[in-house]
């Protein structure tokens, strides 16, 4: 069965330090991976998707099919990056995303 | 465009009461879905719809009903509320094809006492 694993519930880093939020997936087909972000008391919003290969707000993520991973990285954390981050997997067609349990990122000044 | 809207924003129910959480989208998307968000559990899919008149169960459907009579609306019904249904509920609407993206509503915070 398809599954998304985010091993860290909470990640605390100092401002200016590098950030890596881990995401691993389990899916036998060809995956499409996404990162969503939820700022305090706001709705979830798309941060980036692997097929776009883009950098949003300084974040990047590379799909590694060999390691079944899609880790989210940023070289220098900012206080405004503090939020809940969810990794999500699209399995086929236009079906709803399968989400991981989320990682709360706290950037300390 | 308003995107995805949800009402109410907050609701307190007593055990055994029923209610309907409303969700509407103005993007003409065929696919819509309901998730619940609980601490440490992430987002779990309750029900989803692939178009008007078509719905299917997600990961945690028990205690919830849905219907889809129009493209725009996808209400979620709690038949007999239980404390275990205390959660934040998010509705999502999905654009299809190469521009696939799930757009989320602002959420409904439900407390069942």
Q: How confident is the model at residue B16 (pLDDT cuts 50, 70, 90)?
A: very high
Position A31 pLDDT exceeds 90: no
Q: Are B31 and B49 in contact (CB under 8 A)?
A: yes
Q: What integer pLDDT is reported at residue A30 of this predicted model?
A: 84
CA distance B99 to A4: 22
pLDDT at A50: 86
Confirm or reject contact between A102 and chain B (CB < 8 A): yes
Computed on alpha carbons and rounded to an integer, the radius of gyration of chain B in Å comes to: 13
| A63 DSSP assignment | -
| Cβ–Cβ under 8 Å, residues A43 and B106 | yes
Measured distance CA(B55)–CA(B66) in Å, rounded: 7
A99 part of contact set with chain B, CB < 8 Å: yes
Reported as a single tens digit per residue, the pLDDT across A33-63 is 999 999 998 899 999 998 887 888 999 998 9
CA A4 to chain centre: 10
The per-residue pLDDT of chain A, averaged, comes to 93
- Which one of A32, A44, A90 has the shortest CB-CB distance to B104? A44
Q: How many inter-chain contacts (A to B, CB under 8 Å) are there?
A: 51
Reply yes or no on whether the pLDDT at A101 is more than 80. Answer: yes
Contact A94 B100 (CB under 8 A): yes
User: Is A9 in the B-facing interface, judged by CB distances under 8 Å?
Assistant: yes
Whether A32 and chain B come into contact, CB under 8 Å, resolves to: yes
**pLDDT at residue A56, rounded to an integer:** 87
Segment B26-61, tens digit of pLDDT: 999 999 999 999 988 899 999 999 999 999 999 999
Task: Give the C-alpha separation, B5 to B23, whole Å.
Answer: 6
Over residues A3-8, the mean pLDDT reads 96
Confidence band for A9, pLDDT divided at 50, 70 and 90: very high
Residue B12's pLDDT band (cuts 50, 70, 90): very high
**pLDDT at A15 exceeding the cut of 80:** yes
């Amino acid at each position: 069965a398809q599954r998304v694993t985010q091993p860290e519930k909470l990640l605390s880093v100092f401002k200016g330090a590098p950030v890596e939020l881990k995401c691993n997936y389990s899916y036998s087909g060809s995956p499409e991976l996404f990162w969503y972000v939820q700022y305090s008391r706001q709705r979830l919003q798309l941060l980036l998707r692997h097929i776009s290969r883009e950098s949003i707000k300084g974040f990047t993520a590379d799909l590694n099919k060999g390691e079944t991973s899609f880790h989210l990285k940023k070289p220098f954390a900012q206080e405004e990056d503090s939020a809940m981050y969810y990794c999500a997997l699209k399995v086929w067609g236009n079906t709803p995303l399968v989400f991981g349990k989320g990682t709360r990122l706290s950037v300390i000044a | 465009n308003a995107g995805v809207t949800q009402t109410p924003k907050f609701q307190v129910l007593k055990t055994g009461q029923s209610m309907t959480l409303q969700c509407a989208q103005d993007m003409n998307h065929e696919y819509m879905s309901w998730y619940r968000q609980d601490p440490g559990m992430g987002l779990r899919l309750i029900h989803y719809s692939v178009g008007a008149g078509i719905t299917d169960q997600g990961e945690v459907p028990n205690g919830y009903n849905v219907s889809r009579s129009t493209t725009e609306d996808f209400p979620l019904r709690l038949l007999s509320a239980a404390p275990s249904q205390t959660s934040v509920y998010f509705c999502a609407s999905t654009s299809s094809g190469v521009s696939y993206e799930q757009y989320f509503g602002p959420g409904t915070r439900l407390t069942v006492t």
